[in-house]
């Protein structure tokens, strides 16, 4: 009996755990599921706002509209529109144009999740949804009252630099992958070589290759490779990979090279040892 109660409890806890994605909020036959917790994101990358809604049987959704306003404002207004699937509507704020996309483009599936790309601190705020469509074949719409708060922080994620084992005289390829899986602007990736006591310089024999990989329809991974011939002089030097996103947002990772090489004995030393 005790075991049975305990199992029931566990399942109950797990059920409420699912409300991390939010519980539906219903009003006048329209329900929306939004994150109840603040969504945090990093500048330069992107943010996904998970969202879904249901409507009465008689309402046919055609377009979704997203607003963004100050959390202190009781109601977002028309001047706060940041996205509208109805392209004929030109009220969207210019700063958001081209940066917002629906993850599921088919509005009839009632999935209103959006991705906002190339974000900056000013994208922090309270996001609200409206759905426009037909109620019994007449135009109608509904603005949901729940809002999701997004908070954009400074970029702290670093690029990932992969180095194969390096051997003197052999050609090696290093790779640097930018943080974030977004669909915004391509970042710029640059490599810098920091030799001991020398000024920063670009890598000699700079064979760099920029690659963009689409993982899904909306997420892309950006990486750059650097191919060079390892030499003993590279041992102990540092290589940095810097990733620059739009709005001058940058992040950098530095690695120290470890080159396997045959130690060359100077002729004087050779004589000493030989003698
Ligand atoms: C928006 O569209 C309306 C009608 O389509 C047009 O009259 C108006 O000039 C447009 N405004 C802007 C800023 O493009
Ligand atoms: C909405 O669509 C996105 C992208 O296809 C998907 O990841 C997400 O799970 C969907 N959400 C719901 C509630 O179906
Ligand atoms: C390489 O980087 C390490 C730590 O990142 C630093 O301690 C070292 O001084 C650097 N070496 C050179 C040659 O810049
Ligand atoms: C690396 O070494 C190979 C063979 O010595 C040579 O053909 C190639 O041009 C070198 N590449 C660079 C980037 O120096
Ligand atoms: C990636 O892009 C290529 C061409 O742009 C496309 O054919 C392919 O379907 C895309 N893959 C995914 C998973 O979206
Ligand atoms: C980015 O930074 C560089 C140098 O720090 C500066 O010259 C340039 O104007 C900046 N660009 C923007 C868009 O802020
Ligand atoms: C100097 C050098 O090796 N340059 C190379 C840089 O990378 C491009 C693309 O792989 C090569 O075509 C160049 O020869």
Give 233 Cα–ligand 3 centroid separation in angstroms.
15
**According to the model, what pLDDT value does residue 21 have?**
65
What averages of pLDDT result for each successive group of 10 residues across the chain (275 residues)?
Answer: 40 38 87 93 96 94 96 92 90 91 94 96 96 94 95 97 93 92 89 71 57 76 89 88 94 93 58 41
**According to the model, what pLDDT value does residue 213 have?**
75
DSSP-assigned letters across all residues of 148-180: EEEEEE------EEE-PPEETTSEEEEEEE-S-
**According to the model, what pLDDT value does residue 199 have?**
63
* Inter-residue contact 93 to 83 (CB < 8 Å): no
**According to the model, what pLDDT value does residue 110 have?**
95
What residues have CB less than 8 Å from 185, skipping those under 6 apart?
117, 118, 245, 246
Pocket test for ligand 7, best of 173, 202, 207 (most atoms within 8 A of CB): 207
**According to the model, what pLDDT value does residue 19 have?**
42
Q: How far apart are CA 183 and CA 220, in angstroms?
A: 6
Give 145 Cα–ligand 7 centroid separation in angstroms.
56
Helix (H, G, I), strand (E, B) or coil at 12: helix
**According to the model, what pLDDT value does residue 196 have?**
59
Query: Angle 122-67-119 (CA atoms, 0-180°, nearest 5)?
Result: 30
Give 51 Cα–ligand 2 centroid separation in angstroms.
8
* Dihedral angle sign, alpha carbons of residues 171, 176, 177, 178: negative
Chain-centroid distance, C-alpha 228: 30
**According to the model, what pLDDT value does residue 4 have?**
41
**According to the model, what pLDDT value does residue 18 have?**
37
């Amino acid at each position: 009996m005790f075991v049975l109660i305990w199992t029931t409890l566990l399942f109950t806890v797990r059920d409420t755990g699912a409300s991390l994605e939010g519980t539906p909020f219903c009003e006048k036959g329209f329900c929306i599921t939004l994150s109840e917790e603040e969504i945090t994101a990093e500048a330069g990358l992107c943010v996904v706002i998970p969202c879904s809604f249901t409507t009465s049987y008689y309402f046919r959704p055609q377009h979704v509209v997203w607003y963004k306003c100050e959390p202190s404002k009781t109601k977002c207004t028309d001047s706060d529109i940041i996205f509208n699937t109805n392209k004929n509507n030109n009220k969207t704020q210019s700063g958001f144009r081209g940066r917002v996309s629906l993850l599921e483009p088919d509005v009839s599936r009632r999935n209103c999740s959006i991705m906002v790309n190339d974000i900056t601190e000013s994208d922090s705020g309270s996001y609200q949804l409206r759905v426009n469509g037909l109620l019994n074949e007449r135009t109608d719409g509904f603005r949901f009252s729940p809002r999701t708060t997004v908070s954009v922080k400074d970029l702290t994620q670093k690029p990932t630099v992969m180095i194969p084992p390096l051997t003197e005289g052999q050609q090696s390829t290093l790779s640097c992958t930018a943080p974030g899986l977004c669909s915004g602007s391509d970042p710029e990736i640059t490599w810098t070589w920091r030799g001991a006591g020398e000024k920063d310089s670009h890598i000699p024999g700079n064979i760099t290759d920029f690659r963009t990989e689409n993982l899904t329809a909306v997420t892309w991974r950006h990486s750059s490779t650097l191919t060079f011939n390892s030499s003993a002089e590279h041992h102990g030097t540092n290589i940095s990979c810097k990733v620059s996103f739009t709005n001058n947002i940058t992040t950098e990772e530095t690695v120290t090279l470890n080159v396997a090489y045959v130690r060359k004995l100077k002729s004087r030393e050779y004589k000493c040892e030989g003698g």
